[in-house]
Structure 1
């Protein structure tokens, strides 16, 4: 599971851009940029001008995809010998396999990620603007295809191993994934009350959120299709839908139980070393599979809080706004 967001980073280092050249780091929010050319909606082949905002790759459609259904044996066999794919989150899937030389090869697909540095997309993968970046030591490559703009969202394949051309491997896999989404997209089985295909950005009323955070002006900034942030000058709020273990069973970093009302208990963790930062977590829906429950996380950060304020009262107010808008499990 990827680390939980620390929104105060936004205030400490500013809104940063980049190419995502770090493996499995904590989420951050980055500035919006636009793809300078090729924006539109017409489908073109990989030999034409790549286009973003193709209806086949709308955010709503991407949320409904089954990510491990996209890492098919046929696609992975083009770069080696596949193992069993493992679901990592609503939009993530990994396969720890062997390349054609029998060396270890890890392939992780992220569906609906923020694509940083998209203005430098100078490749064409399946008709989508694309770019890649490789770690300095050559141990991993990140291949990205931009599906929509403002903000830039897309598909990412992260490839790790000892092979000589990890970026080429990633491009081969991502090409297969893009083609499959166009031709026969595998969708997840929708369960009653699931948040898997819900847009977290759509659930909080802007005026009510502004009131809850003390009147501060914020800008909506989706990070992934399952994670939405609202960023202001000194405050930030976030809602993240993910999978994981029930927070009440956490023995490593247990949160303080808080009764939110109507029988809902959330688990609260606060940090005040630099400003105020509060995280609330709770299980929305049990899947019956260990470690794969549907989890909701609400974060609130304030870089200039009033004395004695840890941010949790505000986080609770945000959670109370969110709960009535959630699908009922």
Structure 2
């Protein structure tokens, strides 16, 4: 989940989701999602000779607002998976990622993961292949994993990554086949759903706060950096603020962190604040936006950070930013 400029540590880590390396089982859908049937519209592949304007997808089918409401688990077509072996249960991880930990035809472990709306940096520069009429890039990892990335937007770079975890053969071959299937399904309108009332999934975090709110948190002259479709950071000269929407596990007692303290965010909303004294001190404030069954839910997290030499109250900045954006988020 690297840039040409320094970006906050909160958004640098992109976990490699390999077989046997997952957190809580999030296979169930968290909230009611009504899939919208595919319509007859099937947008043609873009012409290589036509430049794509900044901020526009290479094909309207991959528009960010459309990808936000596409269920990645619905794109793991079982008919395609059966070509590789015996599919297992689907395991969702956040809004944009879904995996199937299955067995190949010889009973060996095979992990298939699809992630949509992913930020593309090096993949964009090195895309030297074609999948489904779109530019693509392949990367292998120690002969045990292959990442097949398809570019759906160039400025800023966004795309789809199919990751195959497999130690018993060519991991890229099934990755290409699944990537072809995913691209075709999105073009056909498959997997689009109606979110639950109050869901964060439809919101663009970069567009949510107003300029005055960001100025106060990051300082004038900040630069905005989206990460995927559900995280945005604003970097100033000596401080930064990050807004992150997550679909995640909700503890029964709301005990997200042993060091957290409660803070009143107004409107009956309780926030959970954690201050971290590291080489790049930070303060995080999160709150539960939507709670479903079996400890499943959606949270908003605001993080204020800056170098040790920057003397400002990070927790006060995070709380103020949180209070400013709460009113812009739809009620459940």
Q: TM-score, normalised by structure 1?
A: 0.82
How far does residue 259 in structure 1 lie from its aligned partner after superposition? Answer: 0.9
How far does residue 116 in structure 1 lie from its aligned partner after superposition? Answer: 2.2
Which deviates further from its counterpart, 186-195 or 126-135?
Answer: 186-195
How far does residue 88 in structure 1 lie from its aligned partner after superposition? Answer: 1.1
Report the Cα distance in structure 1 between the residues aligned to 2:281 and 2:324, rounded to whole angstroms. 20
How far does residue 256 in structure 1 lie from its aligned partner after superposition? Answer: 1.1
- Out of 294, 297, 302, the residue aligned to residue 293 of structure 1 is 297
Distance change >3 Å, CA 297–CA 161, structure 1 → 2: same
1:225 partnered with 2:225 = no
Encode CA deviations 1:136-159: one digit per residue, 9 max, x unaligned.
x21111110111122101111111
Distance change >3 Å, CA 269–CA 251, structure 1 → 2: closer
- Out of 50, 60, 67, the residue aligned to residue 62 of structure 1 is 67
Aligned to 2:109: 104
1:327 partnered with 2:292 = no
User: SS state of the match for residue 233, structure 1?
Assistant: coil
Which deviates further from its counterpart, 55-64 or 160-169?
Answer: 160-169
1:156 partnered with 2:153 = no
How far does residue 77 in structure 1 lie from its aligned partner after superposition? Answer: 1.7
- Out of 120, 135, 140, the residue aligned to residue 134 of structure 1 is 140
How far does residue 310 in structure 1 lie from its aligned partner after superposition? Answer: 5.1
Which deviates further from its counterpart, 250-259 or 76-85?
Answer: 250-259
Encode CA deviations 1:211-268: one digit per residue, 9 max, x unaligned.
233x342111111111111123332211111112336532653511111112111111
Q: Is the 8 A contact 1:298 1:319 kept in 2?
A: yes
Q: Is the 8 A contact 1:78 1:172 kept in 2?
A: no
Q: Is the 8 A contact 1:276 1:305 kept in 2?
A: no
Report the Cα distance in structure 1 between the residues aligned to 2:323 and 2:62, rounded to whole angstroms. 32
Q: How many residues align?
A: 297
> Gaps spanning 5+ residues in structure 1: where?
3-8, 26-41
Distance change >3 Å, CA 24–CA 299, structure 1 → 2: farther
Aligned to 1:43: 44
How far does residue 124 in structure 1 lie from its aligned partner after superposition? Answer: 0.8
1:189 partnered with 2:182 = no
> Gaps spanning 5+ residues in structure 2: where?
19-42
1:76 partnered with 2:85 = no
Report the Cα distance in structure 2 between the residues aligned to 1:75 and 1:95, rounded to whole angstroms. 12
Which deviates further from its counterpart, 271-280 or 318-327?
Answer: 271-280
Distance change >3 Å, CA 298–CA 226, structure 1 → 2: same
Q: Is the 8 A contact 2:46 2:59 kept in 1?
A: no
- Out of 302, 306, 329, the residue aligned to residue 302 of structure 1 is 306
User: SS state of the match for residue 196, structure 1?
Assistant: coil
Distance change >3 Å, CA 11–CA 57, structure 1 → 2: closer
Aligned to 1:34: none
Q: Is the 8 A contact 2:45 2:59 kept in 1?
A: no
Q: How does 1:162-177 map to 2 (within 5 A)?
A: 162-177=167-182
Aligned to 1:121: 127
Encode CA deviations 1:266-311: one digit per residue, 9 max, x unaligned.
1111112224211111110111232x2011111111114554x451
1:10 partnered with 2:3 = no
Q: Is the 8 A contact 1:198 1:226 kept in 2?
A: yes
Q: TM-score, normalised by structure 2?
A: 0.81
Report the Cα distance in structure 2 between the residues aligned to 1:302 and 1:45, rounded to whole angstroms. 42
Q: Is the 8 A contact 2:46 2:58 kept in 1?
A: no
Q: Is the 8 A contact 2:17 2:113 kept in 1?
A: no
Superposition RMSD in Å: 2.8
How far does residue 182 in structure 1 lie from its aligned partner after superposition? Answer: 0.8
